[in-house]
Structure 1
Amino acid sequence: MTQDILVGVTMVFVAVTLIQYWSNPSWWIRGWDFPKLQIGALLLVLLLIQLVLLDFSNHWNLLLPPVTLACLAYQWWWIRPYTPLVHCEADWADPNDDGPRIRILSSNVLTPNRHADRLIALVRQYRPDVLVTLESDQWWEDQLQVLSDDYPYSIRCPLDNLYGMHVFSRLPLENQRLSYLVQDDIPSMHARLRVDDELGVQMHFLHPAPPSPTENDESTERDVELLIVGRSVKQTDEPVIITGDLNDVAWSPTTRLFRKISGLLDPRIGRGMFNTFHAQHRLLRWPLDHFFHSAHFRVVRIKRLTDIGSDHFPMFIELQYDRRHASEQHSLDTNADDRARMQNKVAQEPASKDDVPRP
């Protein structure tokens, strides 16, 4: 009986692993991109149980541990870059360098959450140059008015559909644009952050809808928004920062393709996963809130902040501008297959890189 149960459980994990190779955008398939860490942990437990309980006098049972190990290796391949076991993709900043620094705090506040005081306390503590809020409605805009003296520049889009967005900045925001790149009710924001007379940074703030039975049946809309923005910033030599709740995990095939197409760096590579969702469920967390930046920057610090009553933890990053060493940092290489995948995906929606504002 035990042997049969172990065989059945192993086959379930084989199916879960193989389905992730399928590029079908349906939510029930793309949803398996998210819990790779949890699946990997369960596979490790299963492997240990197999080694203890299986009767290896039955030669068929000899196949189960290698199959489980292969599934575990597949999950590990995706999440390994987000551990300290690999070299950082974005270098640490030189503490002796006096280059301009930019601090950004990004927070999906959860619209019905009424603990604005917690977020305001974090803003007072970390003093970001730019505060980005996702899912912020008119109530949240009213509460955050107390920051207006310190953050005189802003882009505001209060919505009640869980896709409201606000950007507050100490520094001037030039060429502000509020866009609806793929879906009519899902905004994105774009601006040039004027750091000083010589340095302006292209900023893109995104919050595409996830693939789910209650939102989009497929991941296509989300994927297209990420890819057209990535393709747009690839064509500039200027400093770029993209941030927001992308409703995609750091290790998904789509985010990996976005990194290739955009050429941007992921500051989490080699530093950690920084799992931001779900804040209330310790065993069901994955990295949904992202920062990506061009090679003009090095990382001073990156941190997941404390609970503010939302289902997401806020994220904070401090970057230092260092153009002199930009050539020393490299993102993932792209090839013809990557470009073909991107073209096929983008062709499924009436949107293109030319729709993305270039602040």
Structure 2
Amino acid sequence: MHTTDLGWLIYCLLITFLSFIHLLRIDAWWIRIWDFPHTQLTVLAGIGVLGWLSFVQDFSWPLWLAPVGLTAALLYQGWLIWPYTPLHPRQVMRQRSPRRLRKQVINDPNTVRLMSANVLMTNTQCPKVLALARKHKPDLILILEASQQWAQALKPLEADYPYQILYPQENTYGLLFYSKLPIADQKLRFLVEDDIPSIYAQLTLRSGQVMHFYGIHPQPPSPTEHYRSTERDAELVLVGREARQQTEPVLVAGDLNDVAWSHTTRLFQRISGLLDPRVGRGLYSTFHANYFFLRWPLDHVFVSHHFRLRTLRRLPNCGSDHFPILVSLVYHPDPTRANQTPQPEGDDLEEAQDIVHRAKHD
């Protein structure tokens, strides 16, 4: 075998292997990190197929396994990403309004606007975040990776956002939550790990409708953060279980340190019954803001069937490694939508129970 042929064979086998390794239900970080780069692996698999056809063209046994493996990888990546394209039916319906009614839309008592931003704790461009908040005037602002310095820099927000849950930390897991909507009940919680907070708030829309908000930012599996994904997965399961029990509208937002197409996030949707507004619209990849070739959707918004979507936008970078996200939702209950929410499948409930048990006892 020529050196060129051998090089392409190794390349093809490697990309095929990396495309499927995440299917192993092993929570070690060096397995789970391959949940993330599926758009990149799609491009690399396509290059491999073209390279094989252009430079090798040897389809004898067992070499034909290389292009077959890459083709299977391409089809699999397409299956994962397809829901986040306009070709897929939308999970959250659009709430359309004529232009002449735009002012009424802004003041609609059933509308709630959220800006979620992982600001990067070491980022010093605080005025950019303030400018985004003042420009878009969201009802809710969730700031992640908030240090004491960030809490001080964003203090001007408190004049317009009289309701707050503030828990800055110096470990990149601080949270700041600002609300124009009254908070009837609020909890700062440490669901799995003692230094990883999440928030729960029972909010009241201007129409008087009660809604439940969860802001989360679990630890990712990585060599610098956590050696496994179990704790992250358990936090998602616990929030998902609680969301399923709510009868009023639910909104979950934050940096989940997981991608939209992963097994864990799809399990979260089936456990919670919540819907993803990106489905049928786009990836809205938020990380990494500085490297377009290493970008995937880490910052999420999930909603109950009570909501329709007005807008979903990825906002300009504010000096962080994440783009902020802005979402505008309308409380628009439709009884028929309640029967179309994701439901647990197969052994989902047993798997969820096992994840929580391992996170708390291993």
1:88 aligns with 2:108: no
1:264 aligns with 2:278: no
Q: Which residue of 1 is the match for residue 78 of structure 2?
A: 76
CA contact (8 A) 1:110 1:162 kept: yes
1:253 aligns with 2:253: no
Q: After superposition, where does 1:190-201 map in structure 2 within 5 Å?
A: 190-196=200-206, 198-201=208-211
**Cα deviation digits, residues 213-269 of structure 1 (max 9, x gap):** 111100000000000110111112110000011111111110000000000000000
Greater Cα shift, 62-71 or 215-224? 62-71
Can you give the 5+ residue segments of structure 2 that lack an aligned partner in the other structure? 99-104
Q: Which residue of 1 is the match for residue 358 of structure 2?
A: 348
Q: Which residue of 1 is the match for residue 66 of structure 2?
A: 64
How far off its partner does 1:332 sit? Answer: 2.8
- How far apart are the structure 1 equivalents of 2:281 and 2:63? 39
CA contact (8 A) 1:297 1:326 kept: no
- How far apart are the structure 1 equivalents of 2:331 and 2:240? 20
Greater Cα shift, 144-153 or 223-232? 144-153
Query: Alpha carbon RMSD of aligned pairs, Å?
Result: 1.7
Aligned length: 351
Q: Normalised by the size of structure 2, how large is the TM-score? A: 0.93
CA contact (8 A) 1:40 1:72 kept: yes
How far off its partner does 1:58 sit? Answer: 3.7
How far off its partner does 1:99 sit? Answer: 6.5
**Cα deviation digits, residues 251-308 of structure 1 (max 9, x gap):** 1110000000000000000111011011111100111100000000000000000010
Could you tell me the percent identity over the aligned residues?
A: 41
- Relative to structure 1, the CA distance from residue 60 to residue 350 in structure 2 (aligned partners, 3 Å threshold; closer, same or farther) is closer
- How far apart are the structure 2 equivalents of 1:152 and 1:324? 32
- Partner of residue 141 from structure 1, selected from 139, 147, 151: 151
Q: Which residue of 2 is the match for residue 354 of structure 1?
A: none
How far off its partner does 1:60 sit? Answer: 3.9
- How far apart are the structure 2 equivalents of 1:117 and 1:201? 30
How far off its partner does 1:196 sit? Answer: 3.0
Q: Which residue of 1 is the match for residue 317 of structure 2?
A: 307
2:231 maps to a residue whose letter is E
Q: Which residue of 1 is the match for residue 248 of structure 2?
A: 238
How far off its partner does 1:2 sit? Answer: 1.4
- How far apart are the structure 2 equivalents of 1:268 and 1:197? 26
- Relative to structure 1, the CA distance from residue 336 to residue 62 in structure 2 (aligned partners, 3 Å threshold; closer, same or farther) is closer
How far off its partner does 1:27 sit? Answer: 0.3
Q: Which residue of 1 is the match for residue 326 of structure 2?
A: 316
CA contact (8 A) 1:239 1:294 kept: yes
- Relative to structure 1, the CA distance from residue 334 to residue 177 in structure 2 (aligned partners, 3 Å threshold; closer, same or farther) is same
Q: Which residue of 1 is the match for residue 102 of structure 2?
A: none
Q: Which residue of 2 is the match for residue 102 of structure 1?
A: 112
- How far apart are the structure 1 equivalents of 2:43 and 2:229? 26
Q: Normalised by the size of structure 1, how large is the TM-score? A: 0.94
Q: After superposition, where does 1:208-223 map in structure 2 within 5 Å?
A: 208-223=218-233
- How far apart are the structure 2 equivalents of 1:211 and 1:67? 27
1:299 maps to a residue whose letter is L
1:44 maps to a residue whose letter is G
CA contact (8 A) 1:99 1:322 kept: no
Q: Which residue of 2 is the match for residue 175 of structure 1?
A: 185
Structure 1 residue matching 2:308: 3-state secondary structure: strand
Can you give the 5+ residue segments of structure 1 that lack an aligned partner in the other structure? 352-359
How far off its partner does 1:121 sit? Answer: 0.7
Q: Which residue of 2 is the match for residue 281 of structure 1?
A: 291
- How far apart are the structure 1 equivalents of 2:38 and 2:20? 13
**Cα deviation digits, residues 7-33 of structure 1 (max 9, x gap):** 111111222133211010000000000
- How far apart are the structure 1 equivalents of 2:113 and 2:57? 57
1:119 maps to a residue whose letter is V
- Relative to structure 1, the CA distance from residue 231 to residue 43 in structure 2 (aligned partners, 3 Å threshold; closer, same or farther) is same
- How far apart are the structure 2 equivalents of 1:20 and 1:147? 42
Greater Cα shift, 153-162 or 327-336? 327-336
- Partner of residue 205 from structure 1, selected from 210, 215, 227: 215
- How far apart are the structure 2 equivalents of 1:58 and 1:251? 35
How far off its partner does 1:56 sit? Answer: 3.3
- How far apart are the structure 2 equivalents of 1:47 and 1:57? 12
Q: Which residue of 1 is the match for residue 12 of structure 2?
A: 10
CA contact (8 A) 1:274 1:304 kept: yes
How far off its partner does 1:45 sit? Answer: 1.0
CA contact (8 A) 1:54 1:61 kept: no
Greater Cα shift, 47-56 or 219-228? 47-56
- How far apart are the structure 1 equivalents of 2:219 and 2:61? 48
Q: Which residue of 2 is the match for residue 357 of structure 1?
A: none
